[in-house]
A = this chain, B = another copy of it.
Amino acid sequence: MAKSKASVPIGVFDSGIGGLTVVRALKRVLPNEDIIYLGDTARVPYGIKSPESITRFAVEDTRFLINRKVKLVIVACHTVSSVCLPELKKNFSVPILGVIAPGARAALAATKNRRIGVIGTQATIMAGTYERVIREVARQEKLGSDVEIVAKSTPLFVPLVEEGWVDNDIAILVAKSYLLSFQDEGIDTLLLGCTHYPLLKSMMKRVLKKVTLVDSATATAREAKKILAETGICRNQNRKPNYRFYLSDLTPNFMEIGKRFLGEPIPFVLRASIAE
């Protein structure tokens, strides 16, 4: 049983194509695993939708992956991870991993002065989940309760990345407008709470020179490895893995934009009917 389960894929979903940055990290950390990716491009973006709609979409996305027999579901979408992860875990028996807790742990490990900044979409920040989860992790791991968190929504970053403007004058001006106030707040660590933001990381680094930037994709991939190892369903043999990419809407520029997120060309894409 455990052996046959090891040979099935990991499922990853996101509201769109940003979650491919998590797939990129998984390929590095778990190079033998097959991956099924679902991007709900017909209903992207989730960040501006109500919690009720986000939860309904997330349940449908998870069911789509579980119907394809995955051994682990990774919620690459920060909005979903923030708004309804407990709801998903309650509804399905397959292990489900979000991106918030791994990111929170990495940020707590990185900070020296105990002042952490968090940026994300409006829904992620309004839900206040990062603040709650960072405090929970700090308590669980006996890191004390004195951590200060400054959270801010940065809605222009996603369209900037999708336009490919990750390092021009406009991107820098937007980053300064959103981020420079973090310096006055005295944070030493900034958690990038959205799948798109890693593509802006090197530019942000120049704007916030003295701040450590933490993105959660690698942290999430490492946690996935740990879960698979603990439950004995890791795929260890050296092999060429299979990757399948599903989108609920075949957007015209997916191949071009997707390549930027994944870090390599996408071979082909399948159309997903999500409300199945």
Contact = CB atoms under 8 A, between A and B. Distances in A.
Interface string A111-151: 00000000000110010000000000000000000000000
Contacts of A156: 156, 159-160, 163, 165, 170
Contacts of A4: none
A205 interface: no
A162 B170 contact: no
Contacts of A49: 41-42, 249, 251
A270 interface: no
How many chain A residues sit at the interface, stated as a range, is 20 to 34
A250 B170 contact: no
A50 interface: yes
A162 B155 contact: yes
Contacts of A122: 252-253
Interface in A201-257: 249-253
Contacts of A174: 170
A132 to B, nearest CB: 18
Contact of A50 (B48, B155, B173, B249): B249
A276 interface: no
A160 B156 CA distance: 7
A28 interface: no
A163 B170 contact: no
A250 to B, nearest CB: 5
A84 interface: no
A253 B53 CA distance: 15
Contacts of A169: 173
A58 to B, nearest CB: 14
Contacts of A252: 50, 122-123, 126
A106 interface: no
A177 interface: yes
Interface in A14-53: 41-44, 48-50, 53
Contacts of A159: 155-156, 158-159
Given A43-B42, A163-B155, A48 B173 contact: no
Contacts of A50: 249-252
A50 B250 CA distance: 6
B249 A53 contact: yes
Interface string A152-180: 00011011101101000110011001000
A158 to B, nearest CB: 8
A160 B170 CA distance: 12
Contacts of A42: 43, 49, 53
Interface of A: 41-44, 48-50, 53, 122-123, 126, 155-156, 158-160, 162-163, 165, 169-170, 173-174, 177, 249-253
